[in-house]
Amino acid sequence: MIDFDRHLGIHPQAAMLRSQRAEVLAANLANADTPNYQARDLDFRAALENALGTGDGFDLARTSDRHLALGDGVGGAELMFRTPTQASLDQNTVDVQAERARFADNALRYQATMRFLDSKFSGLVKAFRGD
Partner 1 sequence: MSLFNVMNVAGSALAAQSIRLNTTASNMANANSASSSIESTYRARHPVFMTAFDEAAEFGGELEEAAGVGVEVGGIIESQAPLRRDYQPGHPLADEAGYVFMPNVNVVEEMANMISASRSYQTNVEIMEASKQMLTRTLALGQQ
Which residues of this chain interact with partner 1, rule CB under 8 A?
15-16, 19-20, 22-24, 26-27, 29-35, 37, 68-69, 71-75, 79, 96, 100, 103-104, 107, 110-111, 114, 117-118, 121-122, 125
Whichever of 45 and 60 has its CB closer to partner 1, that residue is: 60
When the beta carbons of 37 and 57 are compared against partner 1, the nearer one is 37
- The C-alpha atoms of residue 124 and residue 104 are separated, in whole angstroms, by 30
- Please give the helix or strand (H or E) that residue 77 lies within, else none: strand 77-81
What is the closest distance, in whole angstroms, from the C-beta atom of residue 22 to partner 1 in the complex?
A: 6
Query: Which of 30, 52 has the CB closer to partner 1?
Result: 30
Cβ nearer to partner 1, comparing 23 with 127: 23
CB of 30 to partner 1, least distance (A): 4
Please count the other Cβ atoms lying within 10 Å of the Cβ belonging to residue 110: 17
Can you say whether the dihedral through the CA atoms of 99, 103, 104, 109 is positive or negative?
positive
State the Rg of the chain over Cα: 19
In 3-state terms the chain splits into helix, strand, coil percentages (rounded to 5) of 50, 10, 40
Nearer to partner 1 by Cβ, of 54 and 105: the residue is 105
Compute the least distance from the CB of residue 1 to partner 1, in Å: 21
The least distance separating partner 1 from the CB of residue 2, rounded to whole angstroms, comes to 15
- 69 φ, ψ (degrees, to nearest 5): -75, 165
CA distance 76 to 92: 26
